Amino acid sequence: MSTLHFTDANFKKEVLESDLPVLVDFWATWCGPCKKVAPFIDELAKEYAGKMKIGKVDVDANSKVTTQFGVMSIPTIVFFKKGKVMGQLVGAVSKLDLKRKIEENL
């Protein structure tokens, strides 16, 4: 399974109503630290397929959900379970940090 793309239009169904825990990476194409984290997100999406949904929200194209969850700086990675925010990481984090946080939220 590859990294999913969440939008203002599908966020409620794909993230908030998901049976699986969800990792959402709020990012933008022009963001340097976002590009650093992107390969980790893609690798973890494959590794945790079937256990956790992993996807991205382009903040420039999806201002509604970006504002709704108070994302002020990017990358911001938010963990959801049963429609609730369970935690978040802000900034360029390591793959190990991401993995630890995923394990906490499974």
Residues labelled as active-site residues: 31, 34
Question: What tokens does 10 get?
Answer: 């599908």
Question: What tokens does 37 get?
Answer: 């984290």
Q: How far is CA 70 from CA 2, 26, 28, 73, in A?
A: 26, 11, 15, 9
Please classify residue 84 by burial: count the beta carbons closer than 10 Å to its beta carbon, then call 0-12 exposed, 13-18 middle and 19+ buried.
exposed
